[in-house]
């Protein structure tokens, strides 16, 4: 599993714990991260065909549900992060979902998460990380340049450009030399607001 996904998993793991105990912190140093990464590697071995982000989320919420009383201070022994990523924890998870575990446990876990103000899908999405912005592939459109050059700096050219291209682009030589930049940005913003935002963001 890539390091970035491990890091996101650790962050959401800590965030869920902090919903129960705001003062809880992962011990300093690199040992906890290494231990958790090794635990997740052990989980990954259970799924030789590939482990989904859904499965990682299911694993950590299952483990934290098991130790909710310890985290909250209700149980006599205070919570240790290592409990969730040990060989025993992996075996418990395997038995729950592939053995003789309680078939209704996901219902109880979801109710528990709901009480914390969390939905399981939010955990999955956090682990997955931000989705690629589909508009990034349109940041530069060299194929628009010929159209932008037709009747350049005329009203007819502006109308043609507005209807046949993806609008103002900071990397376009034609746009850099255009007398209608202000108007063009307005049109681009109405048609492609996210694209205009990205282009403004990347113009330097």
Residues 44-67: pLDDT tens digits? Answer: 999 988 889 999 999 999 999 999
Residue after which a domain boundary falls, among 99, 128, 157:
128
**pLDDT, mean of residues 182-204:** 89
Q: What is the pLDDT of residue 110?
A: 96
**pLDDT, mean of residues 103-118:** 96
In a shared domain, residues 37 and 101:
yes
Q: What SS3 string covers the chain?
A: CCHHHHHHHHHHHHHHHHHHCCCCCCCCCCHHHHHHHHHHHHHHCCCCCCCCHHHHHHHHHHHHHHCHHHHHCCCCCCCCHHHHHCHHHHHHHHHHHHCCCCCCHHHHHHHHHHHCCCCHHHHHHHHHCCCCCHHHHHCCCHHHHHHHHCCCCCHHHHHHHHHHCCCCCCCCHHHHCCCCHHHHHHHHHHHCHHHHHHHHHCCC
Residue after which a domain boundary falls, among 67, 97, 128:
128
Domain containing 193: what range?
135-201
- Confidence class for position 204, pLDDT limits 50, 70, 90: low
Q: What is the pLDDT of residue 202?
A: 80
Residue after which a domain boundary falls, among 128, 151, 186:
128
Torsion angle of the four alpha carbons 5, 6, 9, 13, in this order, in degrees rounded to the nearest 10: -170
Q: What is the pLDDT of residue 37?
A: 95
In a shared domain, residues 43 and 12:
yes
Q: What is the count of structural domains for the chain?
A: 2
Q: What is the pLDDT of residue 149?
A: 94
Q: What is the largest CA-CA distance in the chain?
A: 80
In a shared domain, residues 104 and 188:
no
In a shared domain, residues 113 and 175:
no
pLDDT of 90 higher than 80: yes
In a shared domain, residues 83 and 105:
yes
Say what the pTM is. Answer: 0.68
In a shared domain, residues 104 and 172:
no
- In tens, the pLDDT along 117-174 reads 999 999 999 999 877 778 888 889 999 999 999 999 999 999 999 999 999 999 999 9
In a shared domain, residues 72 and 160:
no
Q: What is the pLDDT of residue 135?
A: 86
In a shared domain, residues 112 and 157:
no
- Confidence class for position 72, pLDDT limits 50, 70, 90: very high
In a shared domain, residues 162 and 116:
no
In a shared domain, residues 102 and 159:
no
Q: What is the pLDDT of residue 2?
A: 84
- In tens, the pLDDT along 8-34 reads 999 999 999 999 999 999 999 899 999
Q: What is the pLDDT of residue 92?
A: 96
Q: Which of 17, 82, 6 is nearest to 44 (CA)?
A: 6
Question: Phi and psi at residue 86, in whole multiples of 5°?
Answer: -80, 170
In a shared domain, residues 21 and 122:
yes
**Crossing angle, helix 3-20 and helix 53-66, to 10 degrees?**
30
In a shared domain, residues 161 and 111:
no
Are 101 and 95 a contacting pair, CB within 8 Å? Answer: yes
């Amino acid at each position: 599993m890539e390091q970035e996904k491990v890091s996101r998993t650790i962050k959401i793991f800590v965030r869920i714990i902090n919903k129960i105990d705001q003062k809880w912190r992962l011990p300093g140093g690199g040992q906890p991260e290494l231990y958790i990464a090794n635990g997740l590697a052990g989980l990954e071995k259970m799924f030789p065909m590939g482990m989904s982000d859904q499965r990682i989320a299911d694993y950590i919420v299952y483990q934290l549900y098991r130790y909710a009383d310890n985290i909250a201070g209700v149980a006599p022994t205070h919570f240790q992060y290592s409990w969730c990523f040990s060989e025993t924890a992996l075996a418990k998870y395997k038995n729950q979902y592939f053995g003789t575990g309680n078939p209704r446990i996901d219902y109880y876990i979801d109710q528990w998460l709901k009480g914390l103000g969390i939905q399981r899908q939010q955990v999955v999405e956090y682990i997955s990380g931000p989705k690629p912005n589909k508009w990034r592939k349109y940041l530069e459109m060299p194929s628009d340049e010929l159209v932008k050059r037709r009747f350049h700096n005329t009203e007819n050219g502006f109308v043609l450009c507005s209807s046949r291209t993806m609008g103002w682009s900071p990397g376009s030589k034609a746009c850099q030399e255009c007398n209608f930049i202000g108007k063009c940005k307005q049109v681009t913003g109405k048609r492609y607001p996210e694209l205009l935002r990205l282009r403004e963001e990347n113009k330097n």
